[in-house]
Amino acid sequence: MSSKTLLFVQKVWQNLDFKPDGNSFRDFQNNRFLVIKGKTGNRQVIFKAANLESSNVIAAINNEMWAIDFLATTNLKRFIPIIFKKGNNKRLIWYLEEYYNGEKVGEENRISKKFYSRMDAYIDTLIKVEEGLMKLTPKVIQKAKKDNHKFPIRYQLNGSRKYYQDKLSPYYKKEDLTLVLDFYFSNKALLKEKISLNHGDFVLSNFILNDKKLNIIDWEWFGIDNILTDISHLWLELWPHKRIQKKIIQKFREKNKINNFETLFRLCLLRELIYLLSKRAKNTWQKAKKVSSKHHYYSYVVFLSAGKSYESLMR
């Protein structure tokens, strides 16, 4: 953090009577985004701030504030953080968010041992959240239009088929890559036919348990996308837990009758994988090889299976 930025941050803290405890989750040096735990009075809070020099980060923090303000007026308010102060100055945009003194359900693809036996109940709750977002979709589209609010788009593939073929060809057999890209580019239009609200970063580390209450944090990628975006993203994250993977898909399908479910699920998986692999192809592939077949998230197996068939993914 530059000395000038630090002065602006300290001035905001002084005005808020905010006392940081030194537990910085993210900082400006790495990604121009500061997240730090502390207190204002007797209240435990998270201070979030973005440097105005970074348009992408500003868009993310504005989107999260917009999302939380909107969701606070809905039936999903019990799952979201509370923002009780926000503002900006010449260098920063910032807000104070309630701190949930709980535990993450898991992190880095691993469900916490403490919570594993209760995952079936948590899956039911997460599916209820997704169903709540689906129901709110028309309302949020109308409000976003009224507010002239634009949602960020994650995992957007702007390149041509040839671009991704060239980008990924060093890491996959030609016939396998052709199979995957043929399926994706022939069917990708379907992704726009069934849209819904999504959290956008539906992963274990964003699910916080506090006194048996589930809170969902980090709504920076909140927005409109395919109806299976969150579910497919969580399924990918759960690669070490095959039983839980199957359970969440089974329960979601039982409660929500979605046309072309299997095709849409494969498309959502491939869109994310193609994006990640093409952006960080060399490092990602080296990481996948290092952890061998255990790392199904980035592995050849999931990428190729999604191109082949839904049945291949569910084996």
- The tokens of 51 are what? 């440097």
Higher local confidence (pLDDT), 281 or 140: 140
Q: From CA 207, how far away is CA 223, in angstroms rounded?
A: 18
Q: Which DSSP symbol is given to 198? A: E
Contact 73, 177 (CB under 8 A): no
What residues pair up with 32 in beta bridges, in sequence order?
A: none
What per-residue confidence (pLDDT) applies to 224? 96
What per-residue confidence (pLDDT) applies to 258? 94
Q: From CA 164, how far away is CA 178, in angstroms rounded?
A: 10
Tell me the pLDDT tens digit for each residue of 225-244.
999 999 999 998 888 898 99
Long-range contacts of 51-57 (CB under 8 A, 24+ apart): 51/5, 51/91, 51/92, 52/88, 52/90, 52/91, 52/92, 52/93, 57/31, 57/32, 57/33
Q: C-alpha angle 33/199/278, rounded to 5°?
A: 70
Tell me the pLDDT tens digit for each residue of 273-295.
888 877 765 555 555 555 444 54
Q: 3-class DSSP state for residue 197? A: strand
- The tokens of 236 are what? 């990918």
What residues pair up with 209 in beta bridges, in sequence order?
A: 103, 214
What per-residue confidence (pLDDT) applies to 24? 66
Residue 125: burial class (beta carbons within 10 Å; 0-12, 13-18, 19+):
middle
For the chain, give the mean pLDDT.
87
- The tokens of 117 are what? 């036996």
Contact 274, 168 (CB under 8 A): yes
Reply yes or no on whether the pLDDT at 182 is more than 60.
yes
Per the listing, tokens 């030609």 go with 174
Q: From CA 249, how far away is CA 266, in angstroms rounded?
A: 12
Question: Can you list the alpha helix ranges (DSSP code H) found in the chain?
Answer: 3-16, 28-31, 55-71, 113-116, 119-147, 161-168, 174-187, 229-237, 242-255, 261-279, 281-290, 300-308, 310-314
What per-residue confidence (pLDDT) applies to 210? 78
**What proportion of the chain, given as a percentage, has pLDDT over 90?**
54
Domains and CATH numbers, the chain: 3-99 (3.30.200.20), 104-314 (3.90.1200.10)
Q: Residue 208 — very low, low, confident or very high, per pLDDT cuts 50/70/90?
A: very high
Reply yes or no on whether the pLDDT at 42 is more than 80.
yes
Mean pLDDT of 125-140: 97
Q: From CA 203, how far away is CA 223, in angstroms rounded?
A: 16
Q: From CA 39, how far away is CA 99, in angstroms rounded?
A: 9
Tell me the pLDDT tens digit for each residue of 293-313.
454 445 667 888 899 999 999
Higher local confidence (pLDDT), 227 or 21: 227
Residue 93 phi/psi, 5-degree rounding, is -120, 140
Tell me the pLDDT tens digit for each residue of 159-176.
999 999 998 888 788 999
Tell me the pLDDT tens digit for each residue of 67-114.
999 999 999 999 998 998 999 888 889 999 988 888 999 987 889 998
Q: Which DSSP symbol is given to 171? A: G
